Structure 1
Amino acid sequence: MPTGSRAIAVLDVDGTLTPSMLGIELLRTLHGDGACQATELDALNALVDRSRSERGTSCARTIAEANHGFAAVLAGLSAARVADAARRTWCRVEADLFPFVPDLLSTLRSHGLHIVLLSGSPHEVIRVMAARLGVRACQGAVMAAPGGVYNGRVRLPTGIPGVKRRTLGTLLRGHRVDLARSYALGNSAADAQILQLVGVPVAFEPERGLRERAERAAWHIADRHSVVARTHAALCGAERGEPVTREEEVTGC
């Protein structure tokens, strides 16, 4: 590996590391605080559910609509209030983290990978999650809050397909990255460009569109029971210059 370069592991969050959508969970906390209405929460939840069954431009439009809806809910709230709600949200849902996550992070670190959390959920809660997991690099969706007060606008819609890759480029600016040895894990169409970018792509319990793409490209496919073993085997293969395909038996180094 060239001097100064690093291999990275880019991890999606919603549906990949957690069973729930952290953005919706943050809204539940704000609703409990009286900061948003149940109708707003229900409407955004419906948009998220709809996006899971859509593809292409339809999916991107629905995700964008959900982002704008979320930004509208936050309008007028202080950044400090939302940051406090984000901390309380993670304390409430942390126990729901998929049980494999600690072993997965340990496996990635044992292979020398620099871990990045990249999510379509709000950065406020992703930042809290990353700190609790000991992950230094992360990025979630950003809603504009000039002067410390949200104004109802979206600055960075990371959940929209295509935006994650540009966001990753920004996060890694100034670093030399060994993409051939790098790893990505995701479950939706928004993760496809990241999976395509790295040498060790793993589609985790993928939605239908991503599964079809993963099968065509012979990407690794894993579920919550096999993901740690498949990740270890795939990274061992990449280190030997012999990537393990998803059809091959999972073995150790």
Structure 2
Amino acid sequence: MPSPDKPRRAPDLQRRSVLAGEAAAAAAEVETALTGPADPAVAAFFDVDNTVMQGASIFHLARGLHRRDFFTTKDLLTAMWMQAYFRIAGVEDPDHIAETRNSALGFIAGHTVTELEELGEEIFDEAMAHRIWPGTRALAQLHLDQGHRVWLVTAAPIEIARIIARRLGLTGAMGTVSEVEDGVYTGRLVGDLLHGPAKAEAIRALAAREGLDLARCSAYSDSVNDLPMLGLVGDPCAINPDARLRAHARAQGWRIRDYRTGRKAARAGLVASTLAGAAGGAVAAALAVRGRRRP
């Protein structure tokens, strides 16, 4: 039987999602990617992991930071275990969500923003650039060519999201925002991870700020977790979808694009992405608080 205080925690989770979304929209910097006349009311929103990029961007980032002694193997293994448990048993449990977030942040506080940004540039070149799906990249370019703005919307740290968007020539990015004091991360997120409902809140906030007509906008994702984002726009599209999103997209008559080659490769990719997510998801909160340990 649920404890008496459980119902009172749902509004707190909603509040965190709203704060995360508003922070992500406020932190989104408009790039100068458009070369033709823009249609200011139209934009396209792309999830990153397994939509724009093969695998989890945060996992590729985590591996690169680990190689650079950003954190210890023990830290990484602990984060992997916590995220695996979170995915299996704790998705709907506010207590476990809070515990996962707080524990993951413990070893990252006190690191600097500048160093993570510099390392992020290196890691993009060595681990992410060759993992961009050409088909998804072509879809994003098609929107740009039509004068639409194109935004990434991801749970990855906003600094890393900006790097990916800039390297792909997109308009900008929204990602998880962390509290910073004097260029150093405090270990606290602004709201929560930009995940699930928080992505929808970010898009709503950006649409209000930029004057977007969401009924004319598009959104792309591989995951059923992004239904709140996909359901906001008039043109949702499932990219490399998981089974639940594929079924939902078919039922709704949404576009579906799958850039994976062959059923065996697709199944292998799903297994790999699940493992990557387990490794990367928990450290997403940690890495979102960005920076490198000081000596």
Counterpart selection for 1:111 from 124, 130, 146? 146
Cross-structure match for 1:42? 77
Partner SS for 1:165 = helix
| Aligned partner (choices 87, 98, 101) of residue 133 of structure 2 | 98
C-alpha contact (below 8 Å) 1:120/1:157 kept by paired residues: no
Structure 2 CA distance for aligned equivalents of residues 54 and 8 of structure 1? 36
Choose which of 214, 226, 243 in structure 1 pairs with 2:249: 214
Equivalent pair of 1:77/1:150 in contact (CA under 8 Å)? yes
Local SS of the residue matching 2:208: coil
Which residue of 149, 161, 173 maps to 1:126?
161
C-alpha deviation, 1:56, in angstroms: 6.3
Residues in 2 aligned to 1:96 and 1:136: alpha-carbon distance in whole angstroms: 20
**Shift in alpha-carbon separation, 1:191–1:88, aligned structure 2, 3 A:** same
Which fold has the larger relative contact order, with Cα–Cα distance below 8 Å and residues 6 or more apart in sequence? 2
* Residue 115 of structure 2, aligned match among 72, 77, 81: 81
Pair 1:179-2:222 in alignment: no
Q: Report the CA distance shift for 1:208/1:54 in structure 2 as closer, same or farther (over 3 A).
A: farther
| CA displacement at 1:161 relative to structure 2 | 1.7
Say whether the 8 Å CA contact 1:123–1:140 is kept in structure 2: yes
1:7 corresponding residue in structure 2? 42
For structure 1, which segment, 66-75 or 165-174, has the greater mean C-alpha deviation from structure 2 after superposition? Answer: 66-75
Taking a change above 3 Å as real, the CA distance of residues 68 and 210 of structure 1, as seen in their structure-2 partners, is farther
What is the DSSP-based 3-state SS (H/G/I as helix, E as strand, rest coil) of the residue aligned with 1:151? strand
Q: Distance in 2 between matches of 1:171 and 1:23?
A: 23
Which 5+ residue runs of structure 1 have no aligned equivalent?
Answer: 227-253
Cα shift readout 1:184-223 (whole Å, capped 9, x = no counterpart)? 1001233211111111111112223323332332222221
Letter in 1 for 2:175: G
Distance 1:133 1:142, change over 3 A: same
Aligned sequence identity (%): 25
Is there any run of 5+ residues in structure 2 with no aligned partner, and where?
A: 1-38, 262-295
Say if 2:90 and 2:96, in contact at 8 Å, map to a contact too.
Answer: no
Q: Secondary structure at the match of 1:197?
A: coil
Counterpart pick for 1:137 among 130, 147, 172:
172
2:113 counterpart letter in structure 1: A
Q: Give the structure 2 partner of residue 71 of structure 1.
A: 105
User: What is the correspondence of 1:162-177 to structure 2 with a 5 Å cutoff?
Assistant: 162-177=197-212
* Moved >4 Å (runs of 4+): 46-56, 60-70
Tell me the TM-score normalized by structure 1: 0.76
Residues matched between the structures, number: 222
- For 1:75 and 1:223, locate their aligned partners in 2 and report how far apart those are by CA, in whole Å: 39
TM-score normalised to structure 2 length: 0.66
Q: Does the CA contact (< 8 Å) of 1:184 and 1:195 recur in 2?
A: yes
**Residue 232 of structure 2 is aligned to residue 197 of structure 1:** yes
Give yes or no for contact 1:158–1:167 (8 Å, CA) kept in 2.
Answer: no
Deviations 1:54-92 (A, max 9, x none): 79626x887766654553332121111211121111111
Which segment is superposed worse, 128-137 or 213-222? 213-222
- Contact residue 179 and residue 197 of structure 1 kept, 8 A: yes
Among residues 170, 178, 188, which one is paired with 2:223 in the alignment?
Answer: 188
State the SS of the aligned residue for 1:43: helix
Instruction: Report the equivalent of 2:19.
Output: none
CA contact (8 A) 1:63 1:159 kept: no
